[in-house]
């Protein structure tokens, strides 16, 4: 399969969209590594990592809401006209999945902590309310779901990076540059 060597320039995303994309990308990568580390190592730093994970998770939940509002009010640039229909469909579906995972992970984490009876305290002593009462069995199921969602998000991120590289290196259609502000 060969791709056209399109050296066109796609319209850039709005600056706020670019800022939210890269800030959230960095925070999500940190969260995934911290979460994986916490799940596979119990260290003397666990309490600090747990506080970091909760706080950044709640921040990401707020940021994804801001990002969704931004996406609906500031339309994204159109995909290149020469992009095959299956690739356009994959782009749209993958973004829906990414937003779904970015919403689901912190919400499931919040519900998990609530079901486990854990107080949800962020940095600075800020408390957020529980979503439900103590349910130990549900806590276990939500913990498993939180882990599965995290692994699913890792796979989606890898696919997203692969697609960005496809557009930037092989197709050279300007899509990758549009999220870099070019």
What domain range includes position 132? 15-179
In a domain, 168, yes or no: yes
pLDDT of residue 76: 86
Q: How many Å apart are CA 85 and CA 30, to the nearest integer?
A: 34
Which residue, 90, 28, 19, is CA-closest to 53?
28
Query: In this structure, what CATH number is given to the domain that contains residue 120?
Result: 1.20.950
In a domain, 3, yes or no: no
The count of domains in the chain is 1
- pLDDT by residue (tens digit) across 169-182? 999 998 888 888 77
CA gap 53, 30 in Å, rounded: 9
Task: Spell out the residues 6+ positions from residue 61 whose beta carbon is closer than 8 angstroms to its own.
Answer: 103, 106, 107, 110
To which residue do tokens 């979503």 refer?
A: 131
pLDDT at 101 over 70: yes
Q: Is residue 8 situated within a structural domain?
A: no
Are 118 and 142 in contact, with CB atoms under 8 Å apart? no
Average of pLDDT values for 143-152? Answer: 96
pLDDT at 125: 80
Three-state DSSP state, 44? coil
Is residue 75 domain-resident?
A: yes
Question: Is there a domain that residue 2 lies in?
Answer: no
130 or 51, which is more confident: 130
Q: Give 112 or 176, the one with higher predicted confidence.
A: 112
Of 36 and 112, the structure prediction assigns the larger pLDDT to 112
pTM summary value: 0.88
The band of 9, judged by pLDDT with boundaries at 50, 70 and 90, is low
State CA 104 to chain mean position distance: 10
Q: In this prediction, what percent of the chain has a pLDDT beyond 90?
A: 65
With pLDDT > 70 as the criterion, what percentage of the chain qualifies? 93
What tokens does 156 get?
């989606």
> In this model, does residue 19 exceed pLDDT 70?
yes
């Amino acid at each position: 399969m060969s791709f056209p060597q399109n050296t066109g320039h796609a319209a850039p995303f709005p600056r706020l969209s670019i800022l939210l994309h890269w800030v959230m990308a960095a925070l999500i990568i940190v969260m995934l590594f911290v979460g994986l580390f916490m799940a596979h190592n119990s260290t003397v730093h666990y309490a600090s990592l747990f506080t970091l994970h909760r706080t950044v998770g709640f921040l990401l939940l707020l940021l994804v809401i801001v990002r969704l509002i931004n996406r609906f009010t500031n339309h994204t640039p159109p995909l290149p006209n020469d992009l095959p229909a299956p690739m356009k469909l994959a782009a749209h579906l993958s973004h829906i999945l990414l937003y779904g995972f970015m919403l689901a992970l912190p919400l499931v984490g919040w519900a998990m902590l609530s079901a486990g009876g854990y107080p949800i305290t962020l940095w600075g002593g800020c408390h957020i309310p529980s979503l439900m009462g103590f349910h130990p069995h549900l806590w276990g199921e939500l913990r498993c779901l939180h882990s599965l969602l995290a692994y699913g998000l890792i796979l989606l991120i890898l696919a997203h990076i692969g697609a960005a590289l496809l557009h930037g290196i092989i197709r050279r259609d300007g899509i990758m540059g549009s999220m870099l502000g070019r």
